[in-house]
Amino acid sequence: MSKKVALITGGSQGIGKAIAERLVKDGFAVSLVATNKEKLQKVADEINNNGGEALPIVADVADRDEVFAAVEKTVNHFGEFNVIVNNAGLGPTTPIDTITPEQFEKVYGVNVAGVLWGIQAAHKAFKDLGHGGKIINATSQAGVVGNPNLALYSGTKFAIRGITQVVAQDLATEGITVNAFAPGIVKTPMMYDIAHQVGKNAGKSDEWGMQTFAKNIAMKRLSEPEDVANVVSFLAGPDSNYVTGQTIIVDGGMQFH
């Protein structure tokens, strides 16, 4: 293999940015996919200026054609493709009676359809290139056990675990592994927004909102994005070649299964 290449959706901030930086450290060239051109360019510039290789691609993962085009651009640019990290996601706070059809379509479009389109696009690329690869999907601690006020988000993340198990079986004979990572309470912009909304709904502070999720962490600290990126590094590398269909929970000890 002349070059290792990974595509990370949601690569412009938070966990996705940390994953991109870790995979570059592991020797990967990376494509970064997100909707915000300025944020994408900033992350790509940081990686490229530090000796890595990063290609920013503006795309909406809810749009199947845009996801396929992003993978195709990656292959054309780097000449190879080995790993996709379907990381992009939305995490709105949704008390059950407030959910609208528009909100349902938006969140499921990004969180579930975006993963399905990523899997399809990666599978096509692996077949065209004549080799296997690794598909890594983002679920959540909230996709292992339901979290209050997160009916839409938790539902999508439960779905990702099921999809991961099915596709792992469907693609195993092609040398493709399919796994998921389930972060806990990570210090990211999305998590701070969730905490703010939960606190606001209860008439409490942002810190109170965060603690409603964080209070039961055995390790007594919130997760850094790098904690999650370390696990994705394992799933993207050769040490996980005999692991497929699994969800690895990265939550500092909130759920035990």
Q: Is CATH 3.40.50.720 the classification given to domain 4-185+224-250?
A: yes
Residue 215's pLDDT band, with cuts at 50, 70 and 90, is confident
Specify the pTM: 0.94
Query: If you ran DSSP here, which 8-state letter would residue 183 be given?
Result: E
CA 9 to chain CA centroid, Å, is 7
User: Using CA atoms, how far apart are residues 41 and 21, in angstroms rounded to an integer?
Assistant: 14
Is 108 tagged catalytic? no
Task: Label the pairing between strands 247-250 and 176-183.
Answer: parallel
**Annotated catalytic residue, options 153, 187, 215, 220:** 153
**Annotated catalytic residue, options 4, 17, 134, 157:** 157
Is 157 tagged catalytic? yes
Q: HSE of 105 in the Cβ direction (CA atoms, 13 Å)?
A: 4
Per-residue pLDDT reduced to its tens digit, 68-126: 999 999 999 999 999 999 999 999 989 999 999 999 999 999 999 999 999 999 999 99
